[in-house]
């Protein structure tokens, strides 16, 4: 049986579309991460048989997914963001891939409303990527070979195959593999949790697979845009914490220094643009505090990936 897990946090304005895309035979498990909107009622109105898990506080995306997996009865799990929707045949294509390779994490192709494919295949994260992505001119000359995202020109987007990890807006995995990997690492509130899970599955002998035959519409950022400062904080916190867990504390300290210097450079350059004097210095301080928070969490962490 397939269990589809959706985690909400103030997502009442988008979740109905996600629910409508779930194939009726699948069990639907919805975790409400302490929302203050009417999301829970929207869920039950859209699908009366939904299994609703109410959390007293928001412990993050990964913790919400873990709560959903714990409540799910299916032997196969499909995680779906509330701002995404399965296209016809998407779930079936992912399940067929899992049936062929039960130890894998399987991700779909993300598309926009007009059908354009989004680049969601990822290479293994490296600190250099985070530094260059912050530098003002880097996006113009950064070689494709060192970018985190595999470019859309790559044959992978047509042929499918193994990737370092797939983005977490939608993916499928067997319940057994998810459990043996320990689920999501709840030290990450938001971001980096999908790569962490992919590394854990790889350590068990599995891999991540991209299945282009499976299409998922994804709006992207509808929840995080409502809390942009918090999302940015966790983006940089999670990056440094990830490197601490994967590469060790000394490497994480050096990475935090490099990312912090890049963030300060970006903030300074943007702040002195005509008509924008000083406007982004606050953002620079916010980025630096986020990097520091990630380093502090990484130095406290004992579990390695």
- Residue pLDDT, tens place only, 24-58: 899 999 999 999 899 889 999 999 999 999 999 99
Give the predicted TM-score (pTM) of the model: 0.89
Residue 294 pLDDT exceeds 70: no
Model pLDDT, residue 288: 66
Mean pLDDT of 101-112: 95
Model pLDDT, residue 227: 47
Mean pLDDT of 56-84: 96
Of 277 and 110, the one with more pLDDT: 110
Q: Which range, of 108-112, 119-123, 135-139, 276-280, averages the lowest pLDDT?
A: 276-280
Going by pLDDT thresholds of 50, 70 and 90, the confidence category of residue 228 is low
Model pLDDT, residue 224: 46
Residue 64 pLDDT exceeds 90: yes
Q: How far is CA 140 from CA 9, 126, 132, 147, 150, in A?
A: 35, 19, 10, 12, 16
Cβ count near 209 (within 10 Å) = 21
Model pLDDT, residue 144: 81
Q: Which range, of 134-148, 149-163, 179-193, averages the lowest pLDDT?
A: 134-148
- DSSP helix/strand/coil, 204: coil
Mean pLDDT of 116-137: 85
And the tokens for 231?
Answer: 């999302």
pLDDT above 90: percentage of residues in the chain: 53
Model pLDDT, residue 274: 60
Q: Which range, of 1-5, 76-80, 158-162, 253-257, averages the lowest pLDDT?
A: 253-257
Query: Using the 8-state DSSP alphabet, how is residue 142 labeled?
Result: -
Model pLDDT, residue 147: 86
CB 189 within 8 A of CB 223: no
Residue 89 pLDDT exceeds 90: yes
Model pLDDT, residue 220: 62
Where does the chain show beta strands of DSSP type E?
A: 2-8, 27-33, 51-55, 76-80, 84-86, 105-111, 117-118, 121-122, 161-163, 165-166, 170-174, 208-218
User: Hey, which of 10-14, 60-64, 275-279, 298-302 has the most confident mean pLDDT?
Assistant: 60-64
Model pLDDT, residue 75: 97
Task: Choose among 164, 37, 26, 170: nearest CA to 94.
Answer: 170
Mean pLDDT of 83-98: 96
User: Hey, which of 6-15, 94-103, 183-192 has the most confident mean pLDDT?
Assistant: 94-103
And the tokens for 292?
Answer: 């520091």
**pLDDT (tens digit per residue) in 189-227:** 989 999 999 999 999 999 999 999 999 998 865 554 444
Going by pLDDT thresholds of 50, 70 and 90, the confidence category of residue 86 is very high
- Block residue for tokens 């994967």: 246
Residue 253 pLDDT exceeds 90: no
The per-residue b/e assignment along 48-66, b for 16 or more CB within 10 angstroms, e otherwise, is eebbbbebeebebbbbbbb
């Amino acid at each position: 049986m397939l269990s589809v897990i959706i985690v909400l946090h103030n997502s009442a304005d988008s979740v109905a579309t996600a629910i409508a895309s779930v194939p009726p035979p699948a069990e639907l498990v919805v975790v409400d991460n302490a929302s203050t909107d009417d999301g829970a009622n929207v869920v039950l109105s859209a699908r009366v048989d939904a299994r609703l898990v109410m959390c007293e506080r928001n412990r993050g995306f990964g913790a919400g997914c873990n709560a959903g997996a714990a409540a799910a009865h299916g032997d196969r799990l499909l995680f779906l963001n509330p701002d995404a929707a399965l296209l016809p045949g998407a779930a079936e294509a992912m399940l067929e891939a899992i049936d062929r390779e039960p130890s894998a994490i399987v991700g779909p192709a993300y598309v926009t409303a007009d059908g354009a494919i989004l680049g969601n295949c990822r290479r293994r994260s490296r600190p250099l990527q985070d530094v260059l992505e912050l530098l003002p001119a880097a996006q113009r000359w950064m070689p494709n070979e060192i970018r985190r995202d595999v470019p859309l020109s790559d044959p992978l987007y047509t042929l499918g195959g193994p990737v370092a990890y797939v983005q977490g807006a939608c993916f499928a995995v067997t319940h057994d593999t998810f459990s043996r990997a320990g689920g999501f690492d709840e030290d990450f509130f938001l971001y980096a949790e999908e790569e962490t899970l992919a590394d854990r599955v790889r350590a068990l002998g599995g891999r991540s697979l991209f299945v282009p035959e499976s299409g998922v519409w994804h709006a992207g950022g509808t929840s995080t845009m409502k809390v942009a400062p918090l999302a940015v904080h966790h983006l940089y916190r999670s990056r440094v914490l990830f490197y601490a867990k994967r590469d060790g504390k000394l490497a994480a300290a050096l990475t935090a220094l490099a990312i912090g210097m890049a963030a300060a450079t970006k903030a300074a350059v943007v702040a002195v643009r005509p008509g924008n004097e000083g406007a982004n210095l606050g953002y620079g301080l916010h980025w630096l505090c986020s990097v520091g928070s990630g380093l502090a969490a990484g130095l406290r962490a004992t579990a390695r990936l």
